[in-house]
Chains A and B, each alone.
Chain A
């Protein structure tokens, strides 16, 4: 009777044969034993045998790949034992037959007295190369990325056919680029000029910092300097790489400006609403951000302990939680303090400052003053190479997206709901609104809570991109004040425009002159702009 697995294998061979993989897949199946035999032969070419095993390992057949992987590991660990009859077994408990990887019965273990194969240093390097070659075809991208780094190290020992096949199969452009550079390094060391030219061209196709360094090192060689054609090709390639890297850098500055603008928008939105509505500057706004971040921390802890299956979703759970907690705190603050201070905005400043130092101290006592560590949800880890030198991290994309969503939500609330209507009426002319029956006190309280809640949402986002500690709010609050002053109090459009402008200006100056110079320049710019527009860029039409 035919074993079902062999039957399936035969079908697979048939199918694969029709699309051209026949030699690799089917020959490999038959060749397990022959690879072992040639490896175990005392006078055999061990390197060739290893190549045979690798050829199986890079085939499309999943079990063959697993077998090859197991073999390489066994040889490297010194666990492969060649028996006298040309078979081999892998020392483990229980011992495995090297060909089928099935556990051996006790009757077969008689030969296990033979000593295992101990690889030499040269062999160890070959094994490392072999395992990298196999890993290049692994399904996990992390494994492939690690293999690409290995390949870069051992570029001289590589089998070019395998690497170029891996490049063709690679879906991640970053890994493909690393492999291409590794391949090209091989070409650059070649004696044949055509090979070198081709390699230079290949490197130029995948611009990156490593590609740049590789070519620069290559251009420094004497033999290259002497050859005008080669030199010209290299210089051309380096120029091309520089250009695309410069574009990438410009994009990444734009992007980091955008993400900073997102944070500014989130932190300034609540401040702007409250300032526009009540003329109140809330110095405790930064502490609401901090409370939002600590609420996220509590949610994270809770999810880790109680619902580890949904741990990654904690950031989404934290959004409503932080909003509600901060809104409640804000309404409480309004009820206890702010409402006694209307028409005395300067004193509100001091009162909210007092609240802020008390809140900082309170959180310090509860959680300690050191930074709180967060476990980033899996889907926010890492990032994506959009173009050479332009790497987009998912947490910043998340921040930008959330800022946009929250802004749209805020805009719709202010624009299309009854609460928004009452808020706008009160902002424009408080006394008239009161005369027409608007409960201005209630509007104030709700709006203050809403502003505090928005600060809490900013705190949720900041847990992913900034360090969280009790005094984190003080740094952000000065920046968000600047946004409000520049944009005009209470103007949503002004808040967006000025946070975008400040975010981008900040990130454009920072790489060249440092963060402090950026802050100082922004401040001077704002002082200059409000010379012309004292109420901000987008002053609301109020009738007070």
Chain B
């Protein structure tokens, strides 16, 4: 495509804040993220058990739970950034993979609850089932569930990605189709006959891997593992992005036809990134569900899936760290503001999104990131 420079489109990256910030922040700040996240992970049990409640540094169980949830969202955003920022695929359907992880985890947790109480979950009784479904018993162990989640999400992503990438659907078309996919899955999960709890979803979990879910150490453990998984995923994604595969991915994003002519199998490159991203999103869902104690169709709502993209956009796409920062910022603000002024939150989110998208297209992180590695325009 011939790209004539348009008169009014001077890039937002020349904003003065950027020049100012790049003098004192840079690679070092980016490299600091991993230690900070590990510090948070280590600090959480310390803050709950050791620091006295009167101290300002004390964290309540609610606060720890919140941090754990936000870490799951950050992992989800990281997953999306891998495909959006590096492969140029804006998925508005990452909630599907988040939901796969969440629902499989829900099945595992209900297995545990049934083994302990021998009472069928409410929605099964309501549907007139007399016994726990045999297929569900396959997921009675945590390790099996984790493997199943990875396989299931990779499989769904693989089939969908293969079909769409092969026929060269990209850009806005792909976004719309993934959104429709999310919408259809949500409608499907709303039906009682599907057997996944319908509108009310699954709840009433008791134990995870033998530990009581309601107990304080389990909750702290979940939050800590969310943090650590995020760190591991970040390190892995960063490694992937800087490897030769990552370079190829960026090249596909910037000019797919040229890469194809150069002999790359571009759809395979995209498919691998897409599947890795789906698995990360599913793992985020797995960790999210035991922390909120419920899984229902709202986690595959199109609303949430668009919001993930908004976190990434606000943080700065194509930077990995920006996705994490964006998810933490937006969700932290959301939890705080929906308690303080619920009516105002949508306006603030909308306003921030508009300002970021229109004026700071590289997001918060892009505004403070050093210049030099200027990315091409992915939206071709």
**Interface, chain A (partner B; CB < 8 A):** 275, 279, 281, 283, 337, 339-347, 349-351, 353-355, 357-358, 360-362, 365, 431, 474, 478, 481-482, 484-485, 514-516, 519-520, 523, 526-527, 530-532, 534, 544
Apart from A345-B379, A357-B346, A474-B302, what are 16 other A-B pairs with CB-CB below 8 Å? A279-B172, A337-B358, A340-B8, A342-B9, A343-B380, A346-B84, A347-B357, A347-B361, A350-B306, A350-B357, A353-B310, A354-B310, A361-B347, A516-B190, A519-B183, A519-B184
* Shortest Cβ gap from A476 to chain B (Å): 12
Alpha-carbon separation in the docked complex, A531 to B167 (Å):
5
Q: Does B190 lie within 8 Å of A527, measured CB to CB?
A: no
Among B303, B306, B346, B361, max chain A CB count under 10 A is at: B346
Alpha-carbon separation in the docked complex, A346 to B175 (Å):
8
Q: Does A353 lie within 8 Å of B306, measured CB to CB?
A: yes
Q: Does B357 lie within 8 Å of A485, measured CB to CB?
A: no
Q: Contacts A478-B180, A481-B179, A523-B181: A346 and B172 contacting too (C-beta < 8 A)?
A: yes
Q: Is B1's beta carbon under 8 Å from chain A?
A: yes
Q: Is B378's beta carbon under 8 Å from chain A?
A: yes
Looking at chain A's contact residues, the main secondary structure is helix
Contact of A351 among B4, B9, B357 (CB under 8 A): B357
* Per-residue interface assignment for chain B, residues 336 to 380, with 1 indicating a CB less than 8 Å from any chain A CB and 0 otherwise: 000000010011011101100111010000000000000001111
* Shortest Cβ gap from A356 to chain B (Å): 8
Q: Which residues of B contact A345 (CB under 8 A)?
A: 171-172, 379
Q: Does B357 lie within 8 Å of A341, measured CB to CB?
A: yes
Alpha-carbon separation in the docked complex, A526 to B184 (Å):
13
* Shortest Cβ gap from B129 to chain A (Å): 20
Alpha-carbon separation in the docked complex, A544 to B4 (Å):
12
| Chain B residues within 8 Å of chain A by Cβ, number | 53
Q: Which residues of A contact B214 (CB under 8 A)?
A: none
Q: Which residues of A contact B260 (CB under 8 A)?
A: none
Q: Does A431 lie within 8 Å of B354, measured CB to CB?
A: no
Q: Residue of A at shortest CB range from B181?
A: A523
Q: Does B353 lie within 8 Å of A343, measured CB to CB?
A: no
Q: Contacts A345-B171, A346-B175, A531-B167: A354 and B180 contacting too (C-beta < 8 A)?
A: no
Q: Which residues of B contact A481 (CB under 8 A)?
A: 176, 179-180
* Shortest Cβ gap from B274 to chain A (Å): 15
Contact of B379 among A343, A514, A515 (CB under 8 A): A343
Looking at chain B's contact residues, the main secondary structure is helix
Q: Does B353 lie within 8 Å of A350, measured CB to CB?
A: yes
Q: Does A357 lie within 8 Å of B180, measured CB to CB?
A: no
Q: Residue of A at shortest CB range from B171?
A: A345
Alpha-carbon separation in the docked complex, A478 to B183 (Å):
8
Q: Which residues of B contact A347 (CB under 8 A)?
A: 313, 357, 361, 379
Q: Residue of B at shortest CB range from A524?
A: B184
Q: List 5 A-B contacts (CB under 8 A).
A: A357-B349, A361-B343, A485-B176, A526-B177, A526-B180
Q: Contacts A346-B172, A354-B354: A530 and B167 contacting too (C-beta < 8 A)?
A: yes
Alpha-carbon separation in the docked complex, A382 to B175 (Å):
41
Q: Is B188's beta carbon under 8 Å from chain A?
A: yes
Q: Contacts A343-B3, A353-B306, A355-B354: A523 and B349 contacting too (C-beta < 8 A)?
A: no
Q: Does A281 lie within 8 Å of B358, measured CB to CB?
A: no
* Shortest Cβ gap from B94 to chain A (Å): 14
Q: Does A346 lie within 8 Å of B179, measured CB to CB?
A: no
Q: Does B187 lie within 8 Å of A520, measured CB to CB?
A: yes
Q: Does A350 lie within 8 Å of B190, measured CB to CB?
A: no
Among A283, A346, A523, max chain B CB count under 10 A is at: A346
Contact of B2 among A365, A431, A530, A534 (CB under 8 A): A431
Q: Does A516 lie within 8 Å of B187, measured CB to CB?
A: yes
Alpha-carbon separation in the docked complex, A357 to B309 (Å):
14
Alpha-carbon separation in the docked complex, A342 to B1 (Å):
14
Contact of A357 among B172, B350, B379 (CB under 8 A): B350
Among B166, B171, B190, B359, max chain A CB count under 10 A is at: B171
9 pairs of A and B residues whose beta carbons are closest in the complex: A358-B350, A354-B353, A354-B350, A361-B346, A344-B379, A516-B187, A346-B90, A531-B167, A351-B357
Q: Which residues of A contact B190 (CB under 8 A)?
A: 516
* Shortest Cβ gap from A198 to chain B (Å): 48
Q: Which residues of B contact A515 (CB under 8 A)?
A: 187
Alpha-carbon separation in the docked complex, A337 to B358 (Å):
7
Q: Does B167 lie within 8 Å of A523, measured CB to CB?
A: no
Q: Which residues of B contact A516 (CB under 8 A)?
A: 184, 187-188, 190-191
Q: Is B168's beta carbon under 8 Å from chain A?
A: yes
Q: Contacts A342-B6, A347-B379, A354-B357: A534 and B169 contacting too (C-beta < 8 A)?
A: yes
Q: Does B179 lie within 8 Å of A365, measured CB to CB?
A: no
Q: Which residues of A contact B24 (CB under 8 A)?
A: none
